[in-house]
Amino acid sequence: MRALLAPLWARSDLNVYMVLSSLVIHILGLTSTVFVMLVYGRYLSHGVDSTLYTLTTGALVGIGVEMFLRRARFKIASSLCAVESRKLSEKVSHTLLNARSGALQSHLNSAADGGTTTWLERIGQAVSPQPVLALLDMPFALLLLAVLFALSWQLALCVLLVVVVLLVMLGVSAHRMKSITSDHQTNQSKYNVLLKNAELTEAVRINNAQDWLSQRLVNGSGESRLSRHHLQLQQEKMQSQVRNATVFMSVIVISVGAALSVHGELNFGVLIGANILSARLIMLISQPIQQMPMWLNAVRDFGCVNDFLALPEETQKGTKLPSFKGKVSVKQLMFAYPNSPLMVYENLNFELDAGETLTVTGSNGKGKTTLARLLTGLVQPLRGSIAIDGVELRQVNAHWWREQLVYLPQDPDLLPGTLRDNMTLMDASLQDAQLTEVIGKVGLGDWLNQHPDGLDMEIQMRGRNLALGIRRRIAFARALLSQGQLVVIDEPLEGLDKAGITMMQKVLAELAKEKRTLIIISQFMQPLKAGAKFINLDESHVMQVATVRPSPAPGVEKEWFA
């Protein structure tokens, strides 16, 4: 709950102002009550018009000052809430961008209620001016209760009794509403997942899965609507409890006050004033209680965010070698994905000197892509070591290390923005001529020249609006711009036509001649010359040396490197 009230103590100078202004606001809030009491007590009794003018002027001034203070307080609260919201968003963004990839992905995959976007949205609803100020105003109900006791202890006791009963009823309803809200969020999350599946048009229609998915969408929509209906009923129930309590209190106050007035123990003006105060008292108490389910959900979301912020970050203050020659050593490597009972590796070993080439092959699920992610530092081994030029990879500055890589994943993503933006992510100083040259090198020169926007073309949907072969060539060109000494290519033939395969062979041959260290990962055993190093993950987790030439992969007619 402290986190929800963070805006109230974000700045000590403004905190004092908000508390003092709240006190003055609630004192001025008594203006209308005092006005009614004096009008009934003095003006109606004596009929002096000047008295009415004075009372009216004083009431209007008091109400005007109260409105001004409320507006000023709201603006300050809004500013403080915005600052706290920005701080939290910046922390979450920092973790998203710097947390270790494996831990981050595992955490996001396990988030069953929408992840960081949903958490921040619900927290933002709770940490906003209206609910924060409602909670700040709640203690001032004691001020109104004290005034009631000063006016009439009998009426004050009646009001106190009704308030206690109302608090109990709202507490029970809030507890029930918390459970209903949680059920609705779960049902809505499941329905949203089904809607996302409906967007997979190719998978749905090519398998004639419309009827299968339609039934699930109908069921999911029905459960979501039903839980929303229950939520709305519970909200209406709480509002009805407040309305009924207000009416019930008014009846009791007027009945008891009328009896006291008849016996000469209370004048009519005090009775009307007490009735107004009791209604305001109910409002101050009920507003925060009605928002309790939202706060409880936000408290839970704060817990999720704090767990998220505690994820380990990549090493940004590690070692930066003066230069990287390209030597890679992997010893006794063990790895398993979180919550998986199966080990990907139990004892992986290989060593490459600078300028050597290693081909890694194996069937699906044997850990080829995992090896690429381990070498790039996206995931960390459970045991064993990866060393580059004799330095443990865990000790190396992650940002510096990525600059030493030419990495092409099997299914690369492009970022929103222009093609130029995507090509200059690592080095914003690159000139258009350099970009055009490397794009031509991967066989996209004609494609780029034919596009009306050229380098200014917009990339959308992570590049999914482009053919896989085009997207992989763009990602390859982007990787080549790093001039890294270690080249890691995952499935070099993926999505490429015959011309693309020829391009890949040519570029890899050039990189080999430049004495780059190459690790080529493919489910097909590429043609290897005698003496070439390879690992077949289906047979062994230890590097071997080719003695005979394996069968070529589809579309490959000669050795990679002559």
How does DSSP assign 422-470, residue by residue? HHTSS-TT--HHHHHHHHHHTT-HHHHHHSTTGGGPEE-GGGTTS-HHH
Residue linked to tokens 């081994």: 381
Quote the percentage of the chain above a pLDDT of 90.
Answer: 14
Report residue 183's pLDDT band, with 50, 70 and 90 as the boundaries.
Answer: confident
pTM comes to: 0.74
**Is residue 331 helix, strand or coil?**
strand
Q: Please report the pLDDT score of residue 556 as a whole number.
A: 54
Alpha-carbon gap, residue 352 to 543, rounded angstroms: 10
369 Cβ contact partners less than 8 Å away, ≥ 6 residues apart: 409, 410, 490, 521
- Whose structure tokens read 């494996």? 102
> Rounded to 10 degrees, what is the CA torsion of 113, 117, 122, 123?
120
What pLDDT score does 478 carry? 92
For residues 390-416, average pLDDT: 89
Instruction: Look up tokens 């997979």; give the residue.
Output: 200
- 3-class DSSP assignment, residue 294: helix
Q: Are 127 and 81 in contact (CB under 8 A)?
A: yes
Q: Which backbone phi and psi does 392 adopt, to 5 degrees?
A: -60, 130
Average pLDDT rounded to a whole number, residues 191-203: 78
pLDDT at 110: 66
Whole-number pLDDT of residue 282: 87
SS3 of residue 80 by DSSP: helix
How does DSSP classify residue 364?
Answer: T
Quick one: average pLDDT of 37-58? 76
CB atoms within 10 A of CB 440: 15
Distances from the Cα of 154 to the Cα of 151, 271, 275, 281, 552, angstroms: 9, 11, 13, 16, 97
Across the chain, what does the average pLDDT equal? Answer: 83
List the one residue out of 480, 459, 456, 483 whose CA is nearest residue 470: 459
Pick the CATH number of 6-99+106-309 from 3.30.1490.190, 1.20.1560.10, 3.40.50.2300, 3.40.50.12280: 1.20.1560.10
Strands in 544-545's sheet, in edge-to-edge order, are: 405-408, 486-490, 517-521, 357-361, 533-536, 544-545
In this prediction, residues 180-203 reach a mean pLDDT of 79
- Residues 425-462 pLDDT 10s: 888 888 999 999 999 999 999 998 998 888 999 888 88
Domain map of the chain by residue range? 6-99+106-309, 328-545
Q: Which residues contact 518 (CB under 8 A, 6 or more apart)?
A: 356, 357, 358, 487, 489, 508, 511, 512
Selection from 10, 4, 2 nearest residue 295 by Cα:
4
pLDDT over threshold 70, residue 249: yes
Instruction: Give me the residues paired with residue 408 across strands.
Output: 489
The CB-side HSE value for 66 (13 A sphere, CA atoms) comes to 15
CB-based contacts of 88-95 (< 8 A; 24+ apart in sequence): 88/120, 88/123, 88/305, 89/120, 91/309, 92/116, 92/120, 92/305, 92/308, 92/309, 95/308, 95/309, 95/311, 95/313
> Are 360 and 124 a contacting pair, CB within 8 Å?
no
Percent of the chain exceeding pLDDT 70 equals 91
- The pLDDT confidence band at residue 10, using thresholds 50, 70 and 90, is low
Q: Which of 4-8, 198-202, 322-326, 337-341 has the lowest mean pLDDT?
A: 4-8
Residue 337's Cα: distance from chain center in Å?
23
The pLDDT value given to residue 562: 47
Mean pLDDT of the 260-266 span: 82
Q: Which fold has domain 328-545?
A: Rossmann fold (3.40.50)
